[in-house]
Amino acid sequence: MSEMMENKLTADELDAVSGGVGRPELNVISITPYWVKVTASTLNCRYTPNGPKIKSFEYGHKLKVDGITDDGQWYRLLVNDTKHGGQIYGFIFKAYTERL
């Protein structure tokens, strides 16, 4: 079974995960990296905004973000993905974080 099927990712989501150009409608603006703190009890990190979950972070966890979606709602960050055996870009919902 392919990794795409095992992880239930669409071809567009897999393109975004692979670090390629990504989906045309997923416009991410690179920013000077800075730290944010999780303010929700649990914050899901996803392959794409509103996409499948990679992992969860608990309240108070500090994360370094380096991009934001053009709608200003999702941060991009590098995360370790055990399913793919390396670092990939993930997305967290900005409203549940606080800039440090």
Angle at 99 between CA 91 and CA 60, to 5 degrees: 80
CATH of region 3-99: 2.30.30.40
**Is the dihedral angle over the CA atoms 69, 16, 31, 27 positive or is it negative?**
negative
Backbone angles phi, psi at 59, to 5 degrees: -50, 135
Per-residue pLDDT tens digits for 60-96: 999 999 999 999 999 999 998 877 778 889 999 999 9
Per-residue pLDDT tens digits for 22-51: 455 678 999 999 999 999 999 999 999 989
> Domain residue spans in the chain?
3-99
In contact, 36 and 65? CB cutoff 8 Å: yes
Backbone angles phi, psi at 38, to 5 degrees: -70, 130
pTM score, whole prediction: 0.74
